[in-house]
Chain A
């Protein structure tokens, strides 16, 4: 058994990582939306590039577009229109998403190596998953593919996973995140008890 971080240290680390992501990248952490972006890129190809706009350029473009939309006789928005400080930012390219996903793997490798727990296994290092699959290798693989597919399907449907909804959404008391997090933890508990009953 390897030494694990106490809960407060783990909590501090997770919170620190989410905060660091905001402070350095100026976007909320969301792992599942990176998966979605990769899938979209494969399905739809390269998106039309988005031009970055400074707040001033955004203000001017928005004023022009609004006047065109409204026609004549509508008061122009004030020149002091408080547009967002970051203006318009192009979405991250797919290479950045892949870099992030690869970085997670490197982090796992680092953690396992530094703690002396690295080894290569063809399945997961889990006696319970093995028991659940009745000891069968293909059975475990099928459970992982099926479970993974539900994870991919559900997180895209809910619009977030443990990072975007669970940590960053719940800590901001966002209603959608609170409900989604209650749903995935609730069902996770219920299903785990059901699975434990099976084995």
Chain B
């Protein structure tokens, strides 16, 4: 129960932040990709920087067990297809839900697409690929 409360709070904070940053705006995401406004890139990069420091601090006080993220056969192609979809739909998975909350109901199409694409990959993986995605390392 406690975990559910925290999960909900974190999700609301993430949705709020993505809205205030502008990551949920198709036009602003494209201004980032076209380098006409670097603010979102800088936001992302500074988040990575702050997080790197945060993880160092976390490691100082505890011994966290974090799953390694090795390169596997789906890394590049999967990342590339995600990039293609992100540029077209203007949303990463979290952002589709934020957009719906903002009243941009067209993101319901995006959400449906994300769920469909996820399902289709799970079938393609099972039927044809069966790639070793290094899950057994985790």
Chain A residues contacting B27 (CB-CB under 8 Å) are: 126-129
Answer whether residue A179 sits at the interface, using C-beta atoms and an 8 A cutoff: yes
Which single member of B17, B64, B80, B114 contacts A17 (CB below 8 Å)?
B17
- Chain A 3-55 residues near chain B, CB threshold 8 A: 4-8, 10-25, 28-29, 31-32, 35-36, 38-40, 42-43
B43–A10 CB distance below 8 A: yes
Say yes or no: A176 contacts B118, CB within 8 Å: no
- Contact between A107 and B46, CB atoms less than 8 A apart: no
B35, B89, B99, B122: the one within 8 Å of A143 (CB): B89
Within 8 Å CB of A22, what residues of B?
Answer: 58, 64
Contact indicator A155/B93 (Cβ below 8 Å): yes
In the complex, per-residue mask of B11-35: 1 if CB is within 8 Å of any chain A CB, else 0: 1111111111110111110100111
Given contacts A96-B3, A103-B11, A147-B86, contact A159 B102 (CB under 8 A): no
Chain A neighbourhood of B96, CB < 8 A = 148, 151
A140 at the interface (CB under 8 A from B): yes
* A144 / chain B contacts, CB cutoff of 8 Å: 89, 106-107, 109-110, 113
Does the CB pair B55–A121 fall under 8 Å? Answer: no
In the complex, the answer to whether B102 meets A15 with C-beta atoms within 8 Å is: no
CB distance from B59 to the nearest CB of A (A): 10
Q: Which of A102, A120, A152, A174 is close to B105, meaning CB atoms less than 8 Å apart?
A: A120
B122–A43 touching, CB < 8 Å:
yes
Known contacts A14-B43, A125-B104: A157-B78 contact under CB 8 Å = yes
Which chain B residue lies CB-closest to A180? B79
A11-B43, A24-B10, A148-B110 known; A108 vs B99 contact (CB < 8 Å): yes
List 29 contacting pairs A-B, 8 Å CB cutoff, sorted by A.
Answer: A5-B21, A23-B58, A24-B10, A29-B14, A32-B118, A35-B114, A40-B122, A95-B4, A96-B7, A105-B97, A107-B12, A107-B101, A108-B99, A111-B20, A117-B102, A120-B105, A124-B106, A143-B88, A148-B85, A152-B116, A153-B78, A153-B81, A156-B125, A171-B52, A175-B71, A179-B76, A180-B75, A180-B78, A196-B34
Taking A104-B18, A108-B24, A170-B48 as known contacts, 9 extra A-B pairs with beta carbons closer than 8 A to each other, sorted by chain A number, are A24-B3, A150-B84, A150-B88, A155-B118, A167-B48, A171-B48, A176-B71, A177-B69, A183-B83
The 9 closest A-B pairs by CB, nearest first: A107-B15, A148-B113, A103-B11, A152-B117, A147-B89, A150-B85, A158-B78, A11-B46, A108-B101
Interface residues, chain A, CB within 8 Å of chain B? 4-8, 10-25, 28-29, 31-32, 35-36, 38-40, 42-43, 84-86, 92, 95-96, 99-112, 115, 117-129, 140-141, 143-177, 179-193, 195-196
